[in-house]
Structure formats: structure tokens, C-alpha cells
Amino acid sequence: MVGMIQGSWAAGAVMLRSATVRNLDRSLLGTLGVAAAAIGATGLALTSGAPRYVEAVAALPDLLQGLSRTTIEDRRRAAYGYCDRTGYGYVMDVLRAFPDPGARPLVKYRDWDERVELLLPDRRERVDPRVVVGIGLQQEDFLPGIVGVAALRSREHHDGGSFERWTFATGRDIERLIGFAIQLAPPPTAVPAELHLALVESLKSPARLAEWTVAIPAGQQGEAFFPLPRPIRNFSINRGATDFVLELSWSSGGPVPAAIGAVGSRVDGEGFAIVSPPGSCLTALRSDLLDEIRRDPAGPWARFVAALPHARPR
């Protein structure tokens, strides 16, 4: 009989997951899972004759009483995380004082979009791009740094100069590429020279994404940073480990690259300022919204900033 009960429970659990998991809150599934584990342990103890049967039965009242003391919101926060996973808890705290009841902030994650908007109890169709919430992000993710180290793949020399092909991958989503850091091999150039760069889609795709010409002054040596005339936005979104190709060419007597690093930022934070306390999640506001707050220091957006939650430490 116990075996039949266990078999029915397992079949029912499979049907529940397949038929209703899209519509059933995962926090509720977690609650059912805890209860199911206790019942399963009781059944196992019965079939094995283990003395833990008495302990399992005795624990059920405390378990059910503990579940009755939690709310659906408590279980949502436990299931979906605060400054981790979907960031549901932090986003809900941010929304408490959000001046526009029909809008939500733009939420960004360290790795991939967790779509927290699908979990919000209120429908908020519009995104206010002036407010950015970062889940699992820190101030460093808004600042420029080396986002990919290039490796030399091939080198050709001819009478008129040299040509090299380098490859690099960012490994994760980089929203903004701002330039390249290039280590020049000695000796320094005796006369001014030009270094031509071309960014290619990949080793399999020859499409050129951009081209630049960098002026190298006479006597330039060591490491130099070459900013792009115009940053490339959404640079490596959803790209994974696919390499970019960087082609370089220069005339005879020109500078010889010894190492190359791509410089960019995980988050495109141009024009934004972080206004929340430091932690593993944050809130940043765009400059035009900050100007509005300065003009109206007692207004709704000023009250919103004052009510921002403290991000929990990592």
C-alpha cells in the first residue's frame, strides 16, 4: 500500500510540473516540495521499518506551522532572491517609492536577463530608462577596464610593411567598447607613423565591424591607450566565447604591437550616477533625472532616492 502511495505521489508530481509550472508560483512549488520531502521521508521510513518514522511524523506539525506563518511575498523573496538570482526582493523594495506606478526601472544583471518583470504582482508595461537597477553588479562594472586580452594568430611581412591578425573574446556581455590598450615593442619609432586597425566579426565571418587609423607620434614606446572616436554600444551581447578578430597593418619602420587589450565596460554607464549605498545590487540615475531632482529637492523623485533600500552585502 505504501509503495502504491509513493508511486501515485511521484506520478502526480510529474503531472503537476508538466501541466501547471508555467502558471504556478515557484515559491509555492518550493513549499510543496518541502512538504513532499517530509511525506516521502515518512513513507521511506515505513517501508524500511526505520525508527526515524516517529521523528518524521513528529516534525510535520512544526513544519506546517512554520509554513502558515509565512506570506506569499515571503516565499517569493526566498525563492527569487534579493541581490541574487532574479533580484526580486531588491526590485520590489525599489518600486515601493517609484513615482510612476505604471513604469519600472531598467534592470540589468551580471550574466543574463532574469526577466524579473514577469514576477511582479502589478503590471508595469513601461520601462523608465533613466533608472537602472543592477543585480549582482557593483560600481566597477560601470567603469572602463580590460574586457578582453588578444592573442596573435598570424603575421605577414612584405616590402611595404606588416600585417597581423589578433583574436580576443570578452567571455561575458560587454555593453560598451571604448578603445584598445596596445603595448608597443621596442625600439620606439623614429618618425611619426600610422597604425591601421580593423575589427572583424569572427574567424568564420569576414564582415568588418569598424576600421580606425591611429597616429603614432615619434618616440612613442611602451603601453598606449587608443580611444575609439565613437564607442561601440551593445558590443558583445549574447556572444559567448566567440572570438573577435582585430587586423593591424603598418608601414615599414612603424610601431610593432607586442600585446593588445580591448577596453570597455560591463554596463554602459555613460551619463549615469550610482545613488544607492554600495553592495551587491545598486540603483543608478541618468543625469537628466538628477537635474530634475536638484530643481525639485522635495519632489517625488527626491523622495524616491531617499527611500532607496540598502543593498545587502555580498
Assess contact for 91 and 281: CB atoms under 8 A: no
| 162 backbone φψ class: left, alpha, beta (φ>0; ψ -120 to 50) | beta
Query: Which tens digit of pLDDT belongs to each residue from 108-163?
Result: 998 778 899 999 988 899 999 999 999 999 889 999 999 999 999 999 988 888 99
pLDDT for position 3: 37
Structural domains in the chain plus CATH codes: 2-75 (no CATH), 81-137+270-306 (no CATH), 142-265 (2.60.120.820)
pLDDT of residue 110: 84
Q: How much is the pLDDT for 278?
A: 72
pLDDT digits (tens, 9 = 90+) for 174-202: 999 999 999 999 888 888 889 999 999 99
Report the pLDDT value the prediction gives residue 112, as an integer from 0 to 100.
Answer: 79
pLDDT below 70 — which residues of the chain? 1-69, 310-314
pTM: 0.71
The pLDDT of residue 292 is 96
